[in-house]
Amino acid sequence: MLDRDTIRKIQKLIVFTLLILVGLWRFDVVVGAARFILHILSPFLLGGAIAFILNVPMCRIQKRLFGRAAQGSKMERAAAPVSLLVTILAVTGILGLVVVVVLPELASTVAALSLKIPEMFERLETHFTENPEIFRWFEELQLNWDEILAQIVDFFYVGVNTMFGSTISAAKGIVSAVTTFFIAFVFACYILLQKETLGRQMRKLFFAYLKKERAESVLRVCGLTSRTFANFLTGQCLEAVILGAMFFVSMTILRFPYALLVGVLVAFTALIPIFGAFIGCAVGAFLILTVNPVQAAGFIALFLVLQQVEGNLIYPHVVGGSVGLPSIWVLAAVSLGGSLMGIVGMLVFIPIVSVLYTLLRENVHARLEEKDLHIE
């Protein structure tokens, strides 16, 4: 005879199998429902992400300012609101400083490029004038200019209609994005102000519906995940600042143009693990190319050198060390996350793999201790 626990496990397995079969049978309906639910929950998911990011500096500020506050005192009750306000002001100030510093440089860069475009056309016209064989080659081509002109008119007609429709869609998208961000920001502030209360409620919920050992295990995994993500975020930001400063100092010493702009650009793109700096390199090389092609080649060489330093010394120790993950697993996590979820996957998969790696390592050690084996 089967006992009651075994029967329950079999029933759960049957229900799970039926759900999988129904999901595979009506996969399009499942995907549509998932997208609809995700669209509804997107402000709250974004709010949770914002709360988690702001919680990292907020905890440090709260510990520094109110670490010695007596329990139950007015200072302790004011710790969360004051720390949140200081965090928001600090983050806003840093972003504002970057905008104030970079925006004039960006404006001058755009102005310089607009002046160089006519020069490029003049060089192209001179090149055509000095090479008459190009005109003869065009004359030898059998082209129907009336048909080409009609296609050009149709192209611009469709383009104007598309632009008008895109403008309306863009306006709707901007309004929707602003509304979503506002709701997400309010939700994030609520989470940060009530995080201790919410934490106690979640612990009660786990212990109420799970066995004690299972609840403790879930809470331990949640704590490990939170610490890993926080350490990864701190390490990634520190690595981006170091790399951007290296580019700014090196380009200033070598008298490359756009040192500040490229340094800030590389710092922001370096937030994307491993591959992000290449985006900043491409943009920086293009900007320098419009000024001096030789310096553009020198900038690419400088990037390759600094990228080797960053990839072999800074990233494994700063980011890999912060999440407790060996360098080879950091590269594997970035590659897998990028192939599955793009840039978001690159950011998320490193801490996820780190958590799985830590849990697997602990499980392996526990099993070896049970077998009384000591393998070096």
Q: How far is CA 284 from CA 125, 182, 251, 268, 293, in A?
A: 27, 34, 11, 13, 12
One domain for residues 256 and 295: yes
CA 328, 361, 374 angle in degrees (round to 5)? 115
Alpha-carbon distance of 284 to 338, in angstroms, equals 23
pLDDT in tens, the chain (376 residues): 556 777 777 777 788 788 788 777 777 777 787 778 877 888 888 888 888 888 888 888 888 887 776 666 777 778 888 888 998 998 888 888 777 777 777 777 777 766 666 666 666 566 656 666 655 655 555 555 566 656 665 665 555 555 555 566 667 777 888 888 899 889 989 988 888 888 889 899 888 888 888 888 888 888 888 888 888 788 888 888 888 888 889 989 988 888 888 888 888 888 777 677 788 888 888 888 777 778 888 888 988 888 888 777 776 666 666 666 666 777 777 778 777 767 667 777 777 887 888 888 888 887 888 777 677 6
Flag whether 207 is in a domain: no
Asked whether residue 218 is domain-assigned, the answer is yes
In terms of domains, do 101 and 156 share one?
yes
In a shared domain, residues 223 and 317: yes
Query: Is residue 25 included in any domain, yes or no?
Result: no
Same domain, 241 and 356: yes
Please give the Cα distance from 262 to 95 (Å, whole number). 16
Compute CA distances 297 → 44, 133, 286, 288, whole Å.
Answer: 46, 32, 10, 9
Total domain count for the chain?
A: 2
Kindly state whether residues 168 and 272 are assigned to the same domain.
no
Same domain? For 324 and 229 the reply is yes
Which string of DSSP letters, residue by residue, matches 322-339? HHT--HHHHHHHHHHHHH
Q: Which of 162, 193, 224 is the last residue of a domain?
A: 193
Residue 180 located in a structural domain: yes
What residue type is assigned to position 152 of the chain? I
Calculate the alpha carbon distances from 239 to 95, 157, 331 in Å: 18, 48, 16
> Is there a domain that residue 129 lies in?
no
Q: Of 284, 250, 288, which Cα lies nearest the Cα of 265?
A: 284
Residue 97 lies in a domain: yes
Q: Provide the domain limits for residue 311.
A: 212-376
Query: Does 30 fall in a domain?
Result: no
Q: Is 171 exposed, middle or buried (0-12, 13-18, 19+ CB in 10 A)?
A: exposed
**Residue 271 and residue 219 share a domain:** yes
Task: Report d(CA 269, CA 256) in Å as an integer.
Answer: 20
Q: 232 and 350 share a domain?
A: yes
Residues 170, 263 within the same domain: no
Domain match, 176 and 105 both: yes
Per the domain annotation, does 289 fall within a domain? yes
- Nearest-angstrom CA–CA distance, 124 and 130: 10
**Contact assessment for residue 318 and residue 235, using Cβ atoms and an 8 Å cutoff:** yes
Query: Are 162 and 247 found together in one domain?
Result: no
Same domain, 372 and 231: yes
Residues 101, 94: Cα–Cα separation, whole Å:
11
